[in-house]
Amino acid sequence: ETGVTQSPTHLIKTRGQQVTLRCSSQSGHNTVSWYQQALGQGPQFIFQYYREEENGRGNFPPRFSGLQFPNYSSELNVNALELDDSALYLCASSSGDRVYEQYFGPGTRLTVT
Amino acid sequence: QKEVEQNSGPLSVPEGAIASLNCTYSDRVSQSFFWYRQYSGKSPELIMSIYSNGDKEDGRFTAQLNKASQYVSLLIRDSQPSDSATYLCAVNRDNYGQNFVFGPGTRLSVLP
């Protein structure tokens, strides 16, 4: 167990809807990164938050947005859901001095129908 | 050319054998390298990190890095059926974790 928690575990949404996924980072970790993992592929970097600011972004459209709160927990919001958004969404936390050593939560499985 | 490449497998080895997993990357400025293990239906688990050329050993695992050849590998000695999983190679291109790129993973099957 990494101490990183995510909610919900599973979610089913309809195309065009909006979704919010949540992540609580491991104690002492101030950096949260979000990844999308499609079936049979490696995780793809969405964005990273450090001290409540977006600190880097992958090749994802603006309808993917996020927040980080003062307690370092984070949200991922996806608007106008598309069928291709169906995936496992992973949150990873890390600490400032070893930010590249990332520890993953259990993930949220999103299905868009 | 993909940024991080791995053989998709499956790689099958008998119990007790050495499993060898390979990964190549395209960006020469990459700084740090990681191996994650992912069981089916679970999230990735960090098992090894390596930052400089050479070998790094941790228990039954040995990571090997050759920056000149842009190649990183993971050896698993005395493979056990519980090692059966997908192994993801990840490369970080800076010191801030913002350019973290994963390979597609290699599926390892250890046969009893």
Lowest mean pLDDT among A16-20, A51-55, A93-97: A93-97
Predicted confidence (pLDDT) at residue B100 exceeds the cutoff of 70: yes
Cβ-Cβ contacts under 8 Å for B98 (sequence gap 6 or more): A45, A48, A55, A56
pLDDT at B28: 84
Contact B96 A40 (CB under 8 A): no
B103: contact with A, CB 8 A cutoff: yes
pLDDT band for B98, please (50, 70, 90 cuts). Answer: low
Predicted confidence (pLDDT) at residue B63 exceeds the cutoff of 80: yes
% of chain B residues with pLDDT over 90? 79
pLDDT at B78: 97
Degrees to nearest 5, angle at CA A4 with B2 and A108: 65
**pLDDT mean across residues, chain A:** 93
Q: Which CA distances in Å does B97 have to A48, A92, B110, B111?
A: 8, 11, 32, 36
Predicted confidence (pLDDT) at residue B62 exceeds the cutoff of 90: yes
Nearest Cα residue in chain B from A89: B43
Lowest mean pLDDT among A82-91, A97-106, B14-23, B34-43: A97-106
Task: Write out pLDDT tens, residues A6-44.
Answer: 999 999 999 999 999 999 998 888 899 999 999 989 999
Residue at token pair 């008998």: B14
Task: Read off the pLDDT of each residue in B76-100 and give the average, rounded to a whole number.
Answer: 87
Task: Read off the pLDDT of each residue in A82-93 and give the average, rounded to a whole number.
Answer: 96
Q: For residue A106, list chain B residues with Cβ-Cβ distance below 8 A.
A: 42-43
Q: For residue B93, list chain A residues with Cβ-Cβ distance below 8 A.
A: none
Q: For residue B96, list chain A residues with Cβ-Cβ distance below 8 A.
A: 55-56, 99-100
What are the structure tokens assigned to B59, written together? 């228990």
- Rounded to an integer, what distance in angstroms lies between the CA atom of residue B11 and that of residue B104? 14
